[in-house]
Amino acid sequence: MSASNLQQRHRTGRVWLVVFQVALLTGIVALTALLFNILNGSFGYVAIEDTIAPQDLAVNGVPLEEQDKDTLIQVLQAHISAGLFARYEFDKPFAERSAGEVYDLILERVVEPKFVAQWSLYETLTNRDAIRQTAAQDFPNARLEFRSWLNSHFLRAPQSSYPEIAGVRTAVLGSLWTIGIAVLFAFPVGVAAAVYLQEYAPDNLINRIIQTNITNLAGVPSIIYGILGLAIFVRALGHFTSGVAFGASDPTTSNGRTILSAGLTLGMLVLPLIIINAQEAIKAVPSSLRQASFGLGATRWETVWHHVLPNAISGIMTGTILAISRAIGETAPLVVIGASTFIQVDPEGPFSNFTTLPIQIYQWTARPQSVFRNLAGGASLVLLGLLLTLNATAIILRNRYRRSL
């Protein structure tokens, strides 16, 4: 072996090292760009024109936000028509509304803020003076405000066609409902199927075909599941998914495009993922445990229930949460089965119409007014927050189970 040969080999190694580093860097750049893009749209200056400035609504020098409910109701009554006030009273008596809700009504109907211009976070940070000048010139009546598009009002308020008061509450609830139903359906079915395949199924042709199919199903594009869900849950089983069969909905107006259909479709979508992950977790349980159990005269069921599942559960959980993370971001199949793009009332149960966060985001980005893109940015943050929460839960659950073993 000559020394020059060794140098050559080291050089090859260094070249590959650089390749790996560049690959990692590319990944990091892509992630940073993603994060920047979302944050860039979620914060920044807005120019707002109020019909009545909130300061002018202060009573006895107490600013609007700090007033009690009764005063807020008086302010509202003083500024809107009697008819409108009566309608609000009819919709939901003021006695039942919270101070926050009345405050929101005042904002919506009295202050009537209008976003006349908005700037991205980047512009806001780098070009503050120019923005101030432009705003003062073009919108002399507007106030310039640094706004976080993700704020408590945004989380609390339902969807609206006015960007000033629109929020993601309906969409978040819709997402939680559909995911909840998807998990209720897919988790037990998936785990049971995995137990059967790993612990019971003999190794024969039929089972191998089933196994291959499940593996392949995990890779089927989600839109196909949407079409499947449309055919089965919305159309064929519409009588049940609409709730008509249970007397829960009005047969003349309701259809199968409900939370239930959406949840079941998402459940089908993640079922193969849950099965495969649960199988891996079950496979990881050492066979010495099964032998010990059988050696004591345990049946297969006792072995599975007392030893295999408790030792696989943390892996099963992790897989399930990963599946949920996938489902929560799915848009295409829900569009196919007919999620409502505009819906203002909270979903009340499995038979309600619904929208979800990703659909809301999609719908806002498709609007021509640029202000909706900022709303989409805020909603993206909510979606990411939801995802992170779920993943954190998964990790906590898994660690807790690991420790208890």
Partner 1 sequence: MTDIAPAAAATAAIESKDLSIYYGSFQAVRDVNLDIQPNRITAIIGPSGCGKSTVLRAFNRMNELIPNVNTTGEVLFRGQNIYKSDVDPVEVRRHIGMVFQKPNPFPKSVYENVAWGARINGFKGNMDELVHNSLTAAALWDEVKDKLDQSGLSLSGGQQQRLCIARAIAVRPDIILMDEPCSALDPIATLRIEELMRDLATEYTIIIVTHNMQQAARVSDRTAFFSLSDDGKRAGMLMEYGDTKTMFTRPEKKITEDYITGRFG
Site residues, partner 1 (CB under 8 A):
202-203, 286, 288-299, 302, 306-307, 311, 405
Nearer of residues 93 and 295 to partner 1, judged by Cβ: 295
CB of 314 to partner 1, least distance (A): 12
Contacts 24+ apart (CB under 8 A), 236-242: 237/261, 241/351, 242/351
Nearer of residues 91 and 203 to partner 1, judged by Cβ: 203
343 Rama sector, left if φ>0, alpha if ψ -120 to 50, beta otherwise = beta
CB of 310 to partner 1, least distance (A): 8
Nearer of residues 53 and 298 to partner 1, judged by Cβ: 298
Distance CA 23, CA 26 (A): 5
- What dihedral do alpha carbons 374, 377, 379, 383 form, nearest 10°? 180
Distance CA 279, CA 196 (A): 9
Which strand (E) or helix (H) includes residue 67?
Answer: none
Nearer of residues 10 and 306 to partner 1, judged by Cβ: 306
CB of 195 to partner 1, least distance (A): 16
Nearer of residues 121 and 281 to partner 1, judged by Cβ: 281
CB of 105 to partner 1, least distance (A): 58
Nearer of residues 87 and 208 to partner 1, judged by Cβ: 208
Whether residue 59 contacts residue 75, with contact meaning beta carbons closer than 8 Å, is answered with: yes
Task: Return the bridge partners of 45, or none.
Answer: 146
14-52: string of b/e by CB count within 10 Å (b at 16+)?
A: eeeeeeeeeeeeeeeeeeeeeeeebbbbbbbbbbbbbee
CB of 147 to partner 1, least distance (A): 53
CB of 317 to partner 1, least distance (A): 17
